[in-house]
Structure 1
């Protein structure tokens, strides 16, 4: 559809894909959404993006990236039925990390029916030069119904400038303080001053809400590691999230159209963690055998549940207690297929590690081309003094006949544990 045009939205449950062609030197791009009342956000909570991935109403959720067929897609799930009455517009934006949109080929936004993958609208953004953020489209109310408009408005001030335009308070990077001036020459002695009672201090106003933090770290093959300490993640918790979906091609005429659609089956993926403590104790945290771990006692790692279909909005989650990081020697986060598939082919996943304090860390898994049922996701290593380093693994492993996925990943990383069969 051309820039400035609009179209009715046929359903309320929608999938918004912001896509681009991948390739060497192409900057990373991120999708985001702003929920507006009177042209502005009501608060910073109305901004949905990689650091704040879900709106409290459930109307918008940032699902994450996937790469397939030479394209990278960042997805927002939108449920217009859950948009609060005071919200008139949902802005759909993209930002560029490490370059400009003039370096991003084939940028587009697609709006799909979340139930069956039918494309309701598509806008191809062309002619970009120095822009680092774009409002690609928007949902807006008109006479009680929702419409989509192709916008195509660029910003050279990045996501920060775009967000600020709509009323978001952005956490600016700290500036280097000005060095103190040279000390002045000593003054001649004077008579001591008359003591005056200090004025009564005015009441201290309540602190304003914390500004939105736009920084993040994306791990890649070229840059696979990051120190949690250098990102400010030295205490509190580390939340590890695996969000996944199944993508299949239709057969027949639908297959010729090349349209992938989300499907749900009996697939059951399990997020797990091998751990080794500094006192030598080793073990596994997983749903199998109800070994969900513990957050405030060894192993200081807890699995919050078992998403057996991929339908749980938050995916599967592990939490690591960073207040006890000095007791952790290493932690390997991995995922296994418990049932429902023979490999990770057609499964697309995003891994996000969110320290309670500090910038989030994320990465996507490459497309699986081997018959793998276990994938090592991230290795967290204590490098000394309690400093933890996260390394992207994204390594698909193929178990030998009769060998479990857990034993396979154990052998690959030299954990040396004894394994017995377990059940959920």
Structure 2
């Protein structure tokens, strides 16, 4: 793999890169969040079509020419053949929405497929709030890559303005008399502290639509040597517990990471249960409990992380759900995961909860979703649990939030 320095450029063809490839941004931001984006610009270096800004609130461009998978590293899947002739450049940027500046970043990098790596860090910058990391541009009929590494004083909103895009006006603004060009909504809700809440009202008559809960985490930081592994216990002490005929498995550390997503739920009619990969308790989207988990990623190799879908059109049937994650295999501590959960409700700003605490416990209760008189309320929990004697972390979390489930030992198939 080629290492590029700031200012270095090269033709994709000379680098052995075709028209479809991944661009990954691995950003070391200890204790704070950095948003990544890709701007699809025209020949005048302007965002003439807002649909070609790909970021946390718009994860794909038309035709899937660029698709973003959030996480650490963040991954852009690029298909140059799917871009219209009007798009002459893709610019990859990183921006901070908070008190920190780019100088606080650690060693970071951008990689383009298996062809090149562009390393950079906070020592390259001062008090800028954003960085134009790199660009892929078309010149003389050929696509080229340029390592930029240029600091930018404003944040994401300032970058949008710099590239000629238009930020969406607040919802209370009067509607224009004639259809207007699409505008980019930069709104996002990050629940910073334990106990922070946000409430959402329905935007449609039926309900909240298809609610997407995504868990993603840092895979690159997990190759470090694991903590010493204590001798495994047998019997009840060496297993997790699980509920209502599902299964739970022993905690292993074979080198790969298996960070699992699940939820403990209570329906409006009083029924309670668990949705998780252990015991194949995948749930059901169209019927009770109106929550369904995607296929389990047992290695962490999937850049899409783990995903839970909640039927928001049946939200009246749901009283509450605690979204949780547990370390089934690998990763000796939570600080190594740099995990983040995003709760995306259609036509609403995405809600982000970072797993920014904990130690070597195996379980984290991340967020509570509750039905508060028809409103959807999300509360940041980030409470951590570890098995105590014969009492599993699952059961301790159950006791903490008063679900009252029945438990038995088992394993993950």
Q: Give your verdict on TM over 0.5.
A: yes
Alignment partner of 1:16 is 2:25: yes
Partner of residue 36 from structure 1, selected from 41, 45, 57: 41
Q: Which residue of 1 aligns with 2:260?
A: 270
Compare 209-218 and 162-171 and name the one that shifted more. Answer: 162-171
For the residue of structure 1 that corresponds to 2:349, the secondary structure is coil
Q: Which residue of 2 aligns with 1:288?
A: 278
Q: Which residue of 1 aligns with 2:90?
A: 90
Q: Deviations over 1:313-344 (max 9, x none)?
A: 32111122222323322101111233345654
Compare 319-328 and 409-418 and name the one that shifted more. Answer: 319-328
Cα distance in 2 between the residues matched to 1:282 and 1:338: 23
Partner of residue 109 from structure 2, selected from 104, 107, 111: 111
Q: Deviations over 1:298-322 (max 9, x none)?
A: 2121212211222223211112222
Shift of 1:113: 4.1
Q: Which residue of 2 aligns with 1:52?
A: 58
Shift of 1:155: 5.5
Q: Which residue of 2 aligns with 1:248?
A: 222
Equivalent residues of 1:48, 1:62 under 8 A apart? no
Equivalent residues of 1:245, 1:310 under 8 A apart? no
Q: How does 1:24-423 map to 2 (within 5 A)?
A: 29-38=34-43, 39-41=45-47, 43-55=49-61, 57=64, 59=66, 61-64=68-71, 75-78=73-76, 84=82, 86=85, 88-98=88-98, 105-106=103-104, 110-113=108-111, 120-122=118-120, 124-128=123-127, 133-140=130-137, 144=142, 146-150=144-148, 152=150, 154=152, 156=154, 158-174=155-171, 210-221=182-193, 224-229=196-201, 235-246=208-219, 247-248=221-222, 266-340=256-330, 344=334, 346-366=336-356, 368-370=358-360, 372-383=361-372, 385-420=373-408, 421=410, 423=412
Shift in alpha-carbon separation, 1:83–1:368, aligned structure 2, 3 A: farther
Shift in alpha-carbon separation, 1:272–1:41, aligned structure 2, 3 A: same
Compare 388-397 and 335-344 and name the one that shifted more. Answer: 335-344
Equivalent residues of 1:293, 1:299 under 8 A apart? yes
Q: Deviations over 1:73-102 (max 9, x none)?
A: xx4324567675655432122334355x7x
Shift in alpha-carbon separation, 1:338–1:150, aligned structure 2, 3 A: same
Shift in alpha-carbon separation, 1:353–1:117, aligned structure 2, 3 A: farther
Q: Which has the higher contact order (CA 8 A, sep 6+)?
A: 2
For the residue of structure 2 that corresponds to 1:348, the secondary structure is coil
Relative to the length of structure 1, the TM-score reads: 0.71
Shift of 1:397: 0.9
Q: Which residue of 2 aligns with 1:5?
A: 7
Cα distance in 1 between the residues matched to 2:51 and 2:107: 24
Shift of 1:15: 2.8
Equivalent residues of 1:271, 1:286 under 8 A apart? yes
Cα distance in 2 between the residues matched to 1:423 and 1:397: 19
Equivalent residues of 1:3, 1:152 under 8 A apart? no
Q: Deviations over 1:226-270 (max 9, x none)?
A: 11239999621321110123323657xxxxxxxxxxxx9543232
Shift of 1:283: 0.8
RMSD: 3.9
Shift in alpha-carbon separation, 1:348–1:116, aligned structure 2, 3 A: farther
Relative to the length of structure 2, the TM-score reads: 0.73
Equivalent residues of 1:4, 1:151 under 8 A apart? yes
Equivalent residues of 1:136, 1:151 under 8 A apart? yes
Equivalent residues of 1:44, 1:168 under 8 A apart? yes
